[in-house]
Structures are given as structure tokens and as C-alpha cells.
Amino acid sequence: MMHEQVQEVLNKLRPFLLRDGGDVELVDVDEGIVRLRLMGACGNCPSSTITLKAGIERALMAEVPGVSEIEQVF
């Protein structure tokens, strides 16, 4: 259930990432920890950590009950 909710939020954010030449892939959701892979321009962008923490993490924690942490997978 949480996996689907996380994917729904990522789908809402995806157009903003695609506009900048990047994308995000949901790797895993395990006990509130969401593992994501940033791809394309987002994968090696100096601002990727800010994108992940300030943008994606905030949105997921606000919209998906039970999300406690976001981890970036390379």
C-alpha cells in the first residue's frame, strides 16, 4: 500500500524533474524508509541532494503516512 502511495507522489513530481533533464526511480520501500535513484541530469547534479531532501522527501513525508526517511541509491 505504501509503495503505491509513494509512486503516486513521485508521479506528481516527475514532470518537474523531467523538465530539468532528470528523473527518479522508486527502488524500494521498507519499514518507512524509501529508497530512490535519481537518474539523468539529476543523477550527477550538484543540487541533487537538495532536490532529494528539500523537495522529494518533504513531499513524501507530507503525503504518505509512515514515511520516515529517504535514502538515495546509486
- pTM score above 0.85: yes
Instruction: Give the CATH class of 2-72.
Output: alpha beta
Q: Quick one: pLDDT at residue 52?
A: 77
Q: Quick one: pLDDT at residue 68?
A: 95
Dihedral angle of Cα 20, 27, 55, 49, to the nearest 10 degrees: -80
Q: Quick one: pLDDT at residue 41?
A: 77
Q: Hey, where are the domains in the chain?
A: 2-72
Q: Quick one: pLDDT at residue 60?
A: 96
Q: Quick one: pLDDT at residue 44?
A: 73
Walking along the chain (74 residues) 10 residues at a time, the average pLDDT comes out as: 94 91 94 93 75 86 95 90
